[in-house]
């Protein structure tokens, strides 16, 4: 081999050789130190990170408690709902699949495409993208039998709240709907897509109904695919709730009010339990469960009859003559009114140069307290109001729970108003006038009460003076919120005056021989009338100017006691709208009256003009 070796100088540079050794040793030491740090010093830390990497904890939804009426009829249930999902990863031809779905469901392909494009951004490729939320059974059957030919399509079963009686109990039950951002933020146990109570009992009983979610651990890979799962905590179903509502009574009341705007509330005065709570018109709360379209929501919200409004607790109205019951109570409570106090009603009451009219043009003549209550004499109560002053009225009303929320387990209850001089100063910045006291005395002017408050007050008059919280849960014990500030004798006087009102006074139409029924009618003006001459027959007035019609009553038969309060918006005079409704409710509660008794006891109903105009 002729290749010469290079013999000049030492073959390997000494510095270079040392460099190689140093580099090798340095690298070895550096790496060992770093691995020591990562694996020994911080091994536990990284071990935890690796575990949380692969184990994902998710929750298992728990079924919401169901709601029954007091007789065990289901009012709110959980139903399986079938959704159609598309798993993109498994789908060979997405546009063909969407086309097929359109054919099955009769939806527009372009609509489906839009849903698909919207969902694509949020849903991972191996997760089902929901195309259609609530499949009908018919469509479901059609799709299910063909599912094998369309890989990627998937039927997803979820639980959906269903209210079998929809409109009938919408105002009591409310509804559940998907939790919004705010609710999600407030409650860490809620997850996106969870349903929460938004209205009614579903809202106020949320914590009882919801139950506790279970937890499961899912082993996932880096793409989030689920490989294995293990339940850690079993889900606990929510508590069931039995309502005090009697479905049959509720239905009957609703039918009586059909086509009108108004409220009926039936209470058991001895326990405070609400047996019927009807607000008409109503809406189908099932619409909200799967999400309401913007159009439908707009329609409901802008409906001039306000179907979403719960007129029993969320609406307040001037109570009209019903307020005279309170005026009497105030008189007794302050010791400023005696049974024998009488006055002469000339048909009007003069204050300064303004005349306040009684509903009866000619006047009632000499009239005492009982007569004034039975015949609803306005002049008598003008005078009483003058004597008492508005601040006394306000103080006792508050004690009696009027102008104060009842605390019923329904959201957004309104307090109403019983005015005072301080209230007016604060609200309007001007002083109270004496004339306003007179208006207040007959339940007009600023006074506004909810039908539920009136019912609670009526209950306390007949149950021994106990102001009881209106209860919706049949298992809640009675809750006394206060007592009427009058003696039993005074209370009995008012009750007997109410009985007399039904026996022979303004509420005679609800009289029946086989029960003890008492009541007080009320007609509340919606617009201020300058003088009594302008009063017209209800039918001649435009709807929104018509008076509100009230009847607050109680009925006792065979040891059973009920309070029935009805308010019909713009129903005109009490006798025209509220009275037939209440009468029919007692017919339902006490059964039909024997005919001979009825004909004997109601001689004047058809022939005589309305006994009361109020």
The region of 43-51, 155-163, 208-216, 280-288 touching another protein under the rule CB under 8 A is 43-51
In the complex with another protein, which residue's Cβ is closer, 45 or 428?
45
Give min distance, CB of 26 to another protein, in A: 10
Distance CA 568, CA 263 (A): 6
- Note if the bond before 54 is cis, omega within 30 degrees: no
The region of 19-27, 75-83, 284-292, 370-378 touching another protein under the rule CB under 8 A is 19-27
DSSP letters, 132-175, are: ESS--HHHHHHHHHHGGGSTTEEEEEEEEEE-TTGGGGHHHH-E
Distance CA 315, CA 214 (A): 40
Label residue 488 exposed, middle or buried (CB < 10 Å: 0-12, 13-18, 19+): exposed
Give min distance, CB of 147 to another protein, in A: 20
Contact with another protein (CB under 8 A) among 11, 106, 429, 559: 11
Q: Does 40 bind another protein (CB under 8 A)?
A: yes
Give min distance, CB of 128 to another protein, in A: 16
- Buried residues in 475-485 as b, exposed as e (16+ CB within 10 A): eeeeeebbebb
Neighbouring CB atoms inside 10 A of 73's CB total 15
Contact with another protein (CB under 8 A) among 44, 138, 302, 606: 44
Contact with another protein (CB under 8 A) among 19, 96, 233, 305: 19
Contact with another protein (CB under 8 A) among 31, 428, 543, 545: 31
Q: Which residues partner with 159 through β-bridges? A: 80
Contact with another protein (CB under 8 A) among 43, 291, 513, 591: 43
In the complex with another protein, which residue's Cβ is closer, 90 or 514?
90
The region of 213-221, 311-319, 426-434, 554-562 touching another protein under the rule CB under 8 A is 213-221
DSSP letters, 201-214, are: HHHHTHHHHH-B-E
Distance CA 76, CA 66 (A): 5
Give min distance, CB of 224 to another protein, in A: 10
Q: Which has the closest alpha carbon to 366: 350, 384, 386, 342?
A: 342
The region of 47-55, 461-469, 483-491, 533-541 touching another protein under the rule CB under 8 A is 47-55
Give min distance, CB of 65 to another protein, in A: 36
The region of 15-23, 129-137, 265-273, 352-360 touching another protein under the rule CB under 8 A is 15-23
Q: Does 36 bind another protein (CB under 8 A)?
A: yes
Q: Which has the closest alpha carbon to 243: 486, 459, 66?
A: 66
Q: Does 22 bind another protein (CB under 8 A)?
A: no
In the complex with another protein, which residue's Cβ is closer, 42 or 544?
42
Neighbouring CB atoms inside 10 A of 533's CB total 9
Give min distance, CB of 277 to another protein, in A: 53
Label residue 266 exposed, middle or buried (CB < 10 Å: 0-12, 13-18, 19+): buried
Give min distance, CB of 216 to another protein, in A: 17
Q: Give the per-residue contact string, 220-249, with another protein (x = CB under 8 A; - = no).
A: xxxx-x-x----------------------
Q: Give the per-residue contact string, 53-92, with another protein (x = CB under 8 A; - = no).
A: xx--------------------------------------
Q: Are 523 and 573 in contact (CB under 8 A)?
A: yes
Q: Does 597 bind another protein (CB under 8 A)?
A: no
Rg of the chain's alpha carbons, rounded to an integer? 36
Give min distance, CB of 124 to another protein, in A: 14
Q: Does 545 bind another protein (CB under 8 A)?
A: no
Give min distance, CB of 23 to another protein, in A: 6
Q: Does 35 bind another protein (CB under 8 A)?
A: yes
Distance CA 591, CA 104 (A): 52
Q: Is 511 helix (H, G, I), strand (E, B) or coil?
A: coil
Distance CA 300, CA 7 (A): 103
- How far, CA to CA in Å, does 364 sit from each of 213, 341, 535, 576, 605? 68, 15, 18, 22, 21
Those residues with Cβ within 8 angstroms of residue 399's Cβ, 6 or more apart along the chain or in another chain: 333, 482, 484, 485
Those residues with Cβ within 8 angstroms of residue 91's Cβ, 6 or more apart along the chain or in another chain: 97, 151, 152, 153
In the complex with another protein, which residue's Cβ is closer, 51 or 121?
51
Q: Does 427 bind another protein (CB under 8 A)?
A: no
Q: Is 432 helix (H, G, I), strand (E, B) or coil?
A: coil
Neighbouring CB atoms inside 10 A of 405's CB total 14
Number of residues that bind another protein (CB under 8 A): 49
Contact with another protein (CB under 8 A) among 46, 428, 543, 545: 46
Q: Does 122 bind another protein (CB under 8 A)?
A: no
Q: Does 191 bind another protein (CB under 8 A)?
A: no
Q: Is 371 helix (H, G, I), strand (E, B) or coil?
A: helix
Q: Does 27 bind another protein (CB under 8 A)?
A: yes
Give min distance, CB of 4 to another protein, in A: 8
∠ CA 423-445-405, nearest 5°, is 55
Q: Are 130 and 83 in contact (CB under 8 A)?
A: yes
Q: Are 264 and 278 in contact (CB under 8 A)?
A: yes
Give min distance, CB of 59 to another protein, in A: 22
Q: Give the per-residue contact string, 320-359, with another protein (x = CB under 8 A; - = no).
A: ----------------------------------------
The DSSP bridge pattern shows strands 466-468 and 128-132 to be: unpaired
Q: Does 136 bind another protein (CB under 8 A)?
A: no
User: Which stretch of DSSP H or E encloses residue 231?
Assistant: strand 226-233
The region of 51-59, 131-139, 344-352, 452-460 touching another protein under the rule CB under 8 A is 51-59
Give min distance, CB of 126 to another protein, in A: 10
Give min distance, CB of 33 to another protein, in A: 10
Q: Are 554 and 498 in contact (CB under 8 A)?
A: yes
Contact with another protein (CB under 8 A) among 16, 429, 559, 603: 16
Interface ranges with another protein (CB under 8 A): 1, 3, 5-13, 15-17, 19-21, 23-25, 27-28, 30-32, 34-36, 38-40, 42-47, 49-51, 53-54, 219-223, 225, 227
């Amino acid at each position: 081999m002729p290749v010469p070796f290079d013999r000049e100088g030492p073959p390997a540079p000494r510095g270079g050789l040392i460099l190689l050794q140093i580099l090798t040793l340095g690298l070895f030491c550096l790496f060992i130190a770093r691995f020591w740090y990562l694996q020994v010093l911080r091994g536990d830390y990284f071990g935890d990170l690796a575990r949380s990497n692969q184990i994902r904890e998710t929750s298992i939804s728990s079924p919401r408690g169901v709601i029954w009426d007091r007789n065990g009829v289901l009012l709110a249930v959980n139903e399986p709902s079938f959704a159609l999902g598309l798993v993109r990863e498994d789908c060979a031809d997405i546009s063909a699949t969407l086309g097929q779905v359109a054919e099955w469901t009769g939806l527009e392909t372009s609509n489906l495409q839009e849903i698909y494009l919207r969902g694509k951004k949020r849903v991972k490729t191996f997760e089902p993208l929901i195309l259609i939320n609530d499949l009908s059974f018919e469509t479901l059957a059609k799709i299910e039998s063909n599912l094998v030919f369309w890989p990627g399509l998937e039927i997803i079963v979820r639980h959906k709240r269903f209210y079998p009686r929809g409109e009938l109990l919408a105002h009591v039950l409310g509804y559940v709907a998907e939790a919004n951002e705010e609710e999600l933020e407030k409650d860490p146990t809620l997850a996106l897509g969870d349903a929460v109570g938004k209205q009614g009992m579903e809202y106020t009983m949320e914590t009882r109904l919801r139950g506790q979610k279970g937890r499961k651990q899912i082993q996932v890979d880096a793409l989030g695919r689920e490989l294995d799962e293990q339940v850690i905590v079993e889900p606990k179903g929510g508590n069931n709730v039995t309502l005090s509502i009697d479905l049959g009574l509720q239905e009957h009341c609703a039918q009586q009010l059909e086509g009108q705007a108004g409220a009926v509330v039936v209470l058991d005065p001895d326990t405070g339990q609400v047996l019927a709570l009807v607000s008409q018109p109503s809406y189908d709360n099932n619409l909200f469960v799967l999400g309401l379209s913007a159009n439908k929501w707009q329609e409901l919200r802008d409906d001039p009859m306000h179907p979403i409004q719960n007129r029993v607790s969320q609406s307040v109205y001037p109570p009209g003559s019903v307020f005279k019951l309170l005026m009497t109570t105030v008189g007794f409570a302050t010791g400023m009114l005696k049974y024998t106090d009488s006055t002469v009603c000339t048909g009007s009451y003069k204050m300064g140069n303004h005349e306040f009219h009684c509903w009866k043009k000619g006047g009632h003549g000499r009239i005492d307290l009982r007569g004034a209550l039975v015949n609803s004499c306005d002049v008598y109560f003008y005078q009483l109001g003058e004597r008492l002053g508005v601040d006394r009225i306000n103080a006792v009303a508050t004690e009696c729970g009027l102008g104060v929320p009842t605390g019923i387990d329904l959201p957004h209850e309104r307090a109403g108003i019983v005015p005072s001089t301080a209230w007016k100063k604060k609200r309007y910045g001007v002083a109270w006038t004496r004339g306003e006291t007179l208006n207040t005395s007959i339940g007009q002017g600023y006074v506004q009460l909810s039908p539920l408050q009136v019912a609670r007050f009526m209950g306390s008059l007949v149950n021994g003076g106990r102001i009881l919280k209106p209860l919706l849960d049949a298992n809640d014990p009675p809750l006394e919120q206060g007592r009427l500030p009058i003696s039993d004798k005074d209370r009995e006087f008012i009750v007997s005056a109410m009985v007399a009102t039904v026996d022979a006074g303004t509420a005679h139409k609800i009289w029946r021989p086989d029960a003890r029924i008492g009541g007080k009618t009320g007609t509340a003006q919606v617009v201020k009338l300058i003088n009594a001459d302008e009063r017209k027959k209800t039918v001649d007035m435009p709807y929104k100017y018509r008076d509100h019609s009230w009847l607050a009553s109680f009925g006792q038969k065979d040891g059973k006691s009920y309070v029935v309060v009805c308010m019909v918006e713009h129903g005109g005079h009490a006798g025209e709208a509220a009275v037939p409704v209440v009468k029919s409710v007692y017919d339902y509660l006490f059964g039909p009256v024997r005919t001979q008794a009825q004909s004997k006891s109601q001689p004047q109903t058809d022939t005589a003009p309305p006994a009361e105009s109020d």
